[in-house]
Every structure is written in C-alpha cells, then in structure tokens.
Amino acid sequence: MTRFIFALLAFFAVNLLPASIRTFDLTKLTAADTFTAERGYGFDLGTAPDDGRSTFFFSVTVPEGNWRVTVTLGDPATASVNTVKAESRRLMLERVATAPGEIVTRTFVVNVRNRALVPPEKNAPGGTRVLTNDREEGSFTWDDKLTLEFSPGARVRTIALEAADVPTVYLAGDSTVTDQRWEDGASWGQMLTRFFGPDVAIANHAESGETLKSFTTGLRLAKVLERMRPGDWFLIQFGHNDQKQQWPQTYAEANTTYQAWLRAFIAEARRHGATPVLVTSPQRRSFDDQGRIRNTHGDYPAAVRAVAAEEGVALVDLEAASRALYEALGPAQSPRLFANGGKDATHHNNLGAYLLAQAVAQSLRDQHCPLAQHLVGDLPPFDPAHPGNPDDFNLPASPQHSTVAPRGN
C-alpha cells in the first residue's frame, strides 16, 4: 500500500505539477526536435533556427497562468538583433542587439489561457467554455501551450520558464485592442506588453467585433473574473461596436445603457479587488476639409469620460491621443499607421498600434497611476502630437498574413 501511494505521488509530481524552472538549451536541439503533444516542447509551425535567416517558433505545453520567460541571446562569433513575440504576436522584446561574443539575458512575463471555465452548479446559468468565434480557431491565444516567435536575425541560446506570481493587467475591448493574429494588422493591446517590465503580466482578452454586452454573454467577462485576483488591473475599452444601431442585440445607447454597462464592469473589477481603468476608443481616420479628425464616435467618448469622473477611476483618453496623432501626420502620412496598406481607416498596423500603446503608457505615467510603476524604466516620453518620423520604425513582421478584415469592420 505504501509503495502504491509513493508511486501515485510520483505520477502526480511528474505529470501534473509544473517544474519550478524548465530550461531548454537551443544550442543542443536540432530541427528534428519539433513540438508534439507527447514531447511537450519543441520548434513549431515547421520552423527551426537557421543561423538567424528566418523567423522561428518555439512552444512549450504549460498550464493556464502567468509564466516568467528568461532568454539568453547572442552568438560567440556574430552580432545579432533579437525581437521576441509571444502567443498571437504580442511584442515582448524589441530589437535587443548583441555584439559578437556578447551574451545578454532578458526576462518577461507571458499570460497563457484556454477556453475552459469552472462549470456552474447544477441548474445554474453559465457555461464551461468561452464562446469564441470561428476566426479564433487555431489561434495561439486559446491553446494549451506557450509559443514564442523569434525574428530573423535572432540568436537564441536558452529559454527558461517558471510560473510567475505577479499582478495581471486584464484588457477588455474590441478589434482595436485585441491580439491580431495576422499581418499587416495589429492593435495597441498586443504592443502594450513591450512597455511593461517582468513584474506584471498583460492578459489581453479583447476580441474583434466585441461589445460590452457580447463580452458578457459570450462568457469572456466570466473568464476574466474567474482569474482576477486582488491587486490586478482591468483596462476597459469599448465603443466602436456598441454604437452600431444596426446591431440591435448588442447596441447600447451612449448616455444610458452604455454607461450602465461600464459601471457594471467597474463594479465587478472592484468586487474582485482589482483596479479598473477606462479607455476611450481611438478615432477612425476621417479628416474634414481643414485637416482635422471628424468625431465618428458620437457621444461615446464623452460618456466614458463622465463615468470615469463619477466613479473615480483613471481614464486613458485614447480618443484624444489618436486625434492628435493622426492630425500630426496629416491626411497624407497618417494612412501609414493603418492596416491593409492604409486602406483600412479603423484598424492599425504595427506602427499605429505601437504608437497608440505608447500613448496608453504615457497617459498612465502622466496621471501617476500606480500601474505606471510597472512600466519599463527606459521608456522615453511620448507626445502623440509629435510622434517622430514613421521611417524610423523598424519592427520585424511576423510570417502570418491575411487580407480578411477583422470582425466588426
């Protein structure tokens, strides 16, 4: 009997409990070490390191939660420039350079989740899985592994993973916030990770086409609240789709139901001991004859500002920042911030998403929001009215491309 108990404990230790630290030496792995469910780690999507010429992916099966990732970068003989993304193109490290023979270590935290929900009690409303849409099938966002993407030019020596007990910043929103899966689209939520240090996790639950109502009925809010803990944060940005009267099941009038739903999200965050932050929606790129951005959001930005003031929560005014940003570049240059080669006037590309994420980080810092304490220490000031030269932006593109517009467009 004693032998059976020890055997059972050993089984659980090996198969169910995550090791404190798991280290993978990529210098000793070969292209044959591909990811399989049985192996639980390996090079993914048919890629492998090839002396820095191409993008490669490395995945590890992990339980849901926050994971501290430590990578050592560099090469004994050559220089390298290393950009690292996680899951669905979340920017974690940007162009970390090493000289020949130089080895550097960098650490960041990746949030991993799946669709599962704690089953409700018998006869209680609810569900056992988040109600995802068909565009999310096959996404790294909802699988049971942590996936890292290394840019062409990267030289990766080791990868170490360990569970991270850190505050989590949850993001709720629509296509302008979500982790866009494909180039050339991108959203500020998947760039925000670049500006936070390894003492906090960003959990981006936003999804294209979502509204305050659908985020609730689709059990996405339930998923957030199930994981939320005291000390966490909840950034809330809706409006692009809530304003659509042609969507009668999810339409919310700006000064009544929309504000009521915002207050409900705020109340739920506070009930779980988290701190809510409201974010106004970035404007669409629509210029008038004087080169000023038209307000395509009606009363919704003002409604968000009013709720933030009445509830005493921090406000990131991304609507105002986006106006300043687009007008600074003008009708001729501002399309360079948008997807589909600038033909899309709502959804951004990597550059636009990066600049809006900088605006979010700067707003938190300007307000002396406690969350700003977790920003990286070398983050330079950012003024959306003076965004700099777009030609200076150089972020390696991911290999996944699509011309399909995001849901809700």
| CATH code at position 277 | 3.40.50.1110
**Are 218 and 334 in a shared domain?**
yes
Express as a percent the part of the chain with pLDDT over 90.
92
Average pLDDT over residues 210-230: 98
Number of domains in the chain: 2
What whole-number distance in Å separates Cα of residue 239 and Cα of residue 219?
19
Residue 14 in any domain: the answer is: no
Nearest to 110 by CA among 154, 152, 54, 169: 169
By three-state DSSP, how is residue 356 classified? helix
User: Which of 136, 165, 194 finishes a domain?
Assistant: 165
What whole-number distance in Å separates Cα of residue 49 and Cα of residue 250?
46
**Are 222 and 367 in a shared domain?**
yes
pLDDT beyond 80 at 3: no
Find the CATH number of the domain harbouring 73: 2.60.120
User: Which of 101, 130, 165 finishes a domain?
Assistant: 165
**Are 170 and 134 in a shared domain?**
no
Predicted confidence band of residue 4 (pLDDT cuts 50, 70, 90):
very low
pLDDT at residue number 17:
39
User: Which of 124, 148, 165 finishes a domain?
Assistant: 165
Q: At what angle do helices 318-333 and 350-366 cross, to 10 degrees?
A: 140
Average pLDDT over residues 40-47: 97
Q: Which domain holds residue 273?
A: 166-395
Average pLDDT over residues 330-343: 97
Express as a percent the part of the chain with pLDDT over 70.
95
pLDDT beyond 80 at 119: yes
How many residues belong to the chain? Answer: 409
pLDDT beyond 90 at 2: no
Residue 9 in any domain: the answer is: no
pLDDT beyond 70 at 384: yes
pLDDT beyond 50 at 372: yes
Q: Structure pTM?
A: 0.94
pLDDT at residue number 407:
86
pLDDT at residue number 125:
95
What whole-number distance in Å separates Cα of residue 281 and Cα of residue 317?
8
Predicted confidence band of residue 272 (pLDDT cuts 50, 70, 90):
very high
Residue bearing tokens 């090839």: 50
Average pLDDT over residues 262-289: 98
Predicted confidence band of residue 297 (pLDDT cuts 50, 70, 90):
very high
Mean pLDDT, the chain, as a whole number? 94
Enclosing H/E stretch for 307: helix 300-311
pLDDT in tens, 235-253: 999 999 999 999 999 999 9
Predicted confidence band of residue 13 (pLDDT cuts 50, 70, 90):
very low
pLDDT at residue number 405:
86
Average pLDDT over residues 49-75: 96
CA distances from 127 to 133, 161, 174 (A): 15, 31, 22
Residue 2 in any domain: the answer is: no
Q: Bridge-partner residues for 24, per DSSP?
A: 159
pLDDT beyond 80 at 339: yes
In terms of DSSP bridges, do strands 168-173 and 201-204 run parallel, antiparallel, or are they unpaired? parallel
pLDDT at residue number 403:
86
Average pLDDT over residues 65-81: 97
